[in-house]
């Protein structure tokens, strides 16, 4: 029996979406869904929920929970990763509280910025441990990473883990349709081209039957900016740099040095920026789980409709050799020619029986590549820090981050990093 291993299966609702999708795909019948999570209670919940779903959907697949990660991986053909190291308490709280003391405010803190750096530093060692298991018990498996920070973790698995890894993010497939819906434009029959880096990929082209929709998009966006709405940062970036970005305004507010500034507090109001947004979402999710658990886990009548998540479509394409195009995070093997080859980039990829093949993009518009490089600098230095275990590389990653560097002095950035290292304690390996 072929096996799909789901690491981080305690993300029960996401497991329902991803594996529920797979249960509805004919080519993925008779697969074993092997579940692993360090939280035994959540793991049991996921197994129970998916067992009910298999019965309701009439799938011939099976589900099995494992307490041993290596055994969950043994013989896997595909691996789906959704882990979060350190969780909300204590690590996410630390990522926000310590920078706040220095006057450095964040919104999401899971990609770059000081929060993204430390999320990487505590997650990369765990990912490389998983990679060692993969090389031992399922070396030919294809690894799909959903965990943030997407670009650095996918890079680490490919470059240092020796595992064939593709990163999948929700923002690509919804970018153009949601933009058009927000601007009250028809999203049907729309074609688009997206490329860049994760959370900062660019909507390079958006057309309908050969007609360029960008002029109308920009006209309506300019009108929209006259009133408060939830996407003001991306509309401002599109106005100044010419292209729309895949990930949300609350994310992009902290990827750039222009929006969250102590000396210009009016910008927070002007661009409707939700500071400390991710901790609020975490608290909401924790509270929501108390009621959602009953809806999902104990519901023998639970059913499922196929979601927009890429993974079931990718696996179906590989199994059937019917090609499927999707936005994936892969190493930049000359795909985007004006970004560093060492970087992980987000480009259109084709899945078929040969696996996943990324497509060539060429040069991005120079201003777009320049903005991407400001984030790539921090990504690559963070990876350097995780591999070498040198504190200086942590400092350098933070010093190169656009938002952090725009707000704090060199001395404060170094001191903040030291405080974060101390607060994280055993969640980080030793640095020298």
Give the tens place of pLDDT for each residue, 361-379: 999 999 999 999 999 999 9
Give me 314's structure tokens.
């990718």
pLDDT tens-digit series, residues 393-420: 999 999 999 999 999 999 999 999 999 9
Domains and their CATH numbers in the chain: 3-89+99-167 (3.40.50.720)
Beta strand segments in 37-156, E: 62-66, 78-81, 142-145
Spell out the residues 6+ positions from residue 315 whose beta carbon is closer than 8 angstroms to its own. 4, 22, 25, 27, 28, 78, 351
Cα 204 to Cα 361: distance, rounded to the nearest angstrom: 10
pLDDT tens-digit series, residues 130-181: 999 999 999 999 999 999 999 999 999 999 999 999 999 989 999 999 999 9
Cα 67 to Cα 131: distance, rounded to the nearest angstrom: 18
Cα 16 to Cα 306: distance, rounded to the nearest angstrom: 10
Instruction: Check if the beta carbon of residue 73 is closer than 8 Å to that of residue 5.
Output: yes
CA distances from 351 to 15, 135, 197, 224, 319 (A): 22, 22, 20, 38, 10
Assess whether the previous peptide bond of 342 is cis (omega < 30° from 0). Answer: no
Q: What is the mean pLDDT of residues 348-366?
A: 98
- Per the annotation, binding residues for substrate are 148
Placement of tokens 């882990």 in the chain: 83
For residue 313, name the pLDDT band (cuts at 50, 70, 90).
very high
pTM for the model: 0.98
- Per the annotation, binding residues for Mn(2+) are 169, 199
* Selection from 343, 342, 375, 423 nearest residue 113 by Cα: 375
pLDDT tens-digit series, residues 42-89: 999 999 999 999 999 999 999 999 999 999 999 999 999 999 999 999
Cα 214 to Cα 371: distance, rounded to the nearest angstrom: 20
Instruction: Name the phi and psi angles at 342, rounded to 5.
Output: -75, -10
pLDDT tens-digit series, residues 85-131: 999 999 999 999 999 999 999 999 999 999 999 999 999 999 999 99
Whether 1 has a pLDDT exceeding 80, the answer reads no
- Per the annotation, binding residues are 148, 169, 199
Q: Which of 52, 170, 256, 360 is catalytic?
A: 170
Cα 139 to Cα 354: distance, rounded to the nearest angstrom: 16
Question: How many Cβ atoms from other residues are within 10 Å of residue 426's Cβ?
Answer: 7
Is 52 noted as a catalytic residue in this protein?
Answer: no
């Amino acid at each position: 029996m072929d096996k799909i291993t789901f690491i981080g299966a305690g993300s029960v609702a996401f497991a329902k979406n991803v594996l529920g999708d797979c249960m509805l795909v004919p080519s993925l019948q008779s697969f074993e869904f092997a579940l692993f999570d360090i939280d035994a209670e959540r793991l049991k919940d996921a197994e129970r929920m998916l067992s009910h779903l298999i019965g309701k959907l009439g799938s011939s697949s099976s589900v099995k929970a494992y307490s041993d990660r290596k055994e969950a991986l043994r013989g896997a053909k595909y691996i789906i990763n959704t882990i979060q190291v350190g969780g909300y308490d204590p690590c996410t709280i630390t990522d926000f509280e310590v920078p706040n003391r220095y006057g450095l405010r964040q919104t999401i803190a899971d990609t770059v910025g000081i929060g993204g750096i430390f999320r990487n530093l505590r997650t990369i060692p765990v990912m490389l441990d998983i990679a060692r298991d993969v090389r031992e018990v399922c070396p030919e498996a294809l690894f799909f990473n959903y965990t943030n920070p997407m670009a650095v973790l996918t890079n680490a698995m490919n470059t240092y883990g020796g595992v064939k890894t593709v990163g999948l993010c929700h923002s690509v497939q919804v970018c153009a349709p949601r933009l058009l819906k927000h601007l009250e434009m028809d999203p049907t029959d729309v074609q688009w081209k997206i490329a860049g880096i994760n959370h900062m990929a660019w909507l390079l082209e958006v057309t309908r039957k050969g007609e360029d929709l960008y002029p109308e998009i920009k006209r309506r966006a300019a009108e929209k900016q006259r009133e408060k709405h939830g996407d003001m940062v991306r509309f401002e970036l599109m106005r100044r740099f010419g292209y729309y970005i895949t990930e949300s305004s609350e994310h992009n507010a902290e990827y750039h040095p222009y929006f969250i500034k102590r000396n210009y507090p009016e910008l927070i109001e002007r661009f409707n920026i939700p500071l400390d947004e991710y901790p609020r979402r975490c608290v909401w999710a924790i509270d929501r789980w108390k009621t959602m658990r009953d809806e999902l886990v104990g519901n023998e009548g639970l059913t499922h409709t196929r979601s927009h998540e890429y993974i079931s479509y990718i696996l179906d394409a590989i199994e059937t050799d019917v090609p499927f195009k999707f936005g994936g995070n892969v190493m930049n093997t000359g795909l985007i020619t004006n970004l560093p080859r060492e970087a992980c980039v987000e480009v259109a990829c084709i899945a078929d029986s040969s696996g996943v093949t990324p497509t060539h993009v060429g040069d991005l518009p120079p201003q777009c590549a320049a903005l991407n490089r400001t984030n790539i600098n921090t990504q690559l230095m963070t990876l350097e820090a995780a591999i070498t275990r040198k504190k200086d590389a942590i400092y350098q990653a933070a010093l190169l981050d656009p938002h952090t560097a725009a707000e704090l002095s060199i001395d404060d950035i170094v001191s903040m990093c030291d405080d974060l290292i101390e607060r994280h304690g055993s969640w980080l390996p030793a640095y020298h």
